[in-house]
Amino acid sequence: MTLETRCRIRTKNASLLTGLDAMDWGVSPTEWQRRQHPDAFRPRISVVHDGVDTAVCRPDPAATVTLPDGRTLSREDEVVTYVARNLEPYRGFPTFMRAAAELLLRRPKLHILVVGGDEVSYGAPPEGGGSWRETMWRETMLDAAGSPRPEAARLHVLGKLPYDRYLSVLRVSRAHIYLTFPFVLSWSMLEAMACGAVIVGSGTPPVAEVIENGVNGLLTDFHDPMALADRVETALDDPELRAALSAAARMTAVERFDLATVCLPAQIRLLEDVQAGRLPPADGPCAGGVS
């Protein structure tokens, strides 16, 4: 990290510090994000997630996805999914692509669906220009002569989708890969859980706040493509495990992150408590609401 980068980060943090000083109370969607703030401000930050609509994000056994070439995939097919607003290292895209190449070799019936754009939401573009999709496609899906490998035809990059089609992708998934640096948690992981997808996630904060390995999903090393491929195969090869993880993932989403019954009421209570002077305890956050 250069001196210029350190100065830029400090300048960005200055506006946040001004906001922290001015606030009556703060809200963080995860405990990990709360812990990133200076010690002096943490007692005035409650953990209340934004919430997801689990009435809309729900399983659908009849869901299908029509590919650009006209083929249709359903829950009868072996489908693995990956979603990010943009395909980039912050969300583990290089690790995913290396694991995807291995999985496609191991499993001749597997289809992998990728949703996301080519811009940069976080971090930086690859050296030499272009997009991370192009960079990783060249590394993993082309042979030495620069021609697509045969298995590349089963990796489908769908770009950015309308919301209903995006939900269909999650609903046909047998294993949904979610990787992230220690960073803000994507809504897409929680929406995938609400749709009953089996999460194979990185063992990084704040993913591990939500996913308990072997209980409501599977965790793996963010940097290890082969370990990720092995974890995905564990889910694909065990229907009973998939069913149990799917049900537990849906239950977690409903009980902890449902917008209508959990998060919005907690947000409203927090506003009312701050307005009335009934502030949460100063010795820590109140996950899921204000006591």
Q: Where are the domains of the chain?
A: 3-51+258-276, 64-257
Q: By the 8 A CB rule, do 177 and 81 touch?
A: yes
Q: By the 8 A CB rule, do 267 and 48 touch?
A: yes
Q: By the 8 A CB rule, do 155 and 112 touch?
A: yes
Residue where the block lists tokens 């990133």: 36
User: How high is the pLDDT of residue 280?
Assistant: 57
Q: Is 104 helix (H, G, I), strand (E, B) or coil?
A: helix
Instruction: Please list, in sequence order, all residues whose beta carbon lies within 8 angstroms of the beta carbon of residue 240, skipping any fewer than 6 positions away.
Output: none
Nearest to 26 by CA among 282, 255, 210: 282
Q: Which amino acid is at 281?
A: P
Nearest to 195 by CA among 212, 164, 170: 170
Along the 291 residues of the chain, how does pLDDT read in single tens digits? Answer: 899 999 999 999 999 999 999 999 999 999 999 999 999 999 999 999 999 999 999 999 999 999 999 999 999 999 999 999 999 999 999 999 999 999 999 999 999 999 999 999 988 899 989 999 999 999 999 999 999 999 999 999 999 999 999 999 999 999 999 999 999 999 999 999 999 999 999 999 999 999 999 999 999 999 999 999 999 999 999 999 999 999 999 999 999 999 999 999 999 999 999 999 887 554 433 343 433
Residue where the block lists tokens 């082969």: 226
pTM of the model: 0.93
Lookup: tokens for 151: 């298995």
Cα separation, 108 vs 87, whole angstroms: 25
Q: By the 8 A CB rule, do 220 and 179 touch?
A: no
CA angle in degrees (0–180, nearest 5) for 30-200-70: 115
CATH number of the domain at 64-257, please? Answer: 3.40.50.2000
Lookup: tokens for 87: 């395909």
Phi, psi (rounded to 5 degrees) for 35: -70, -15
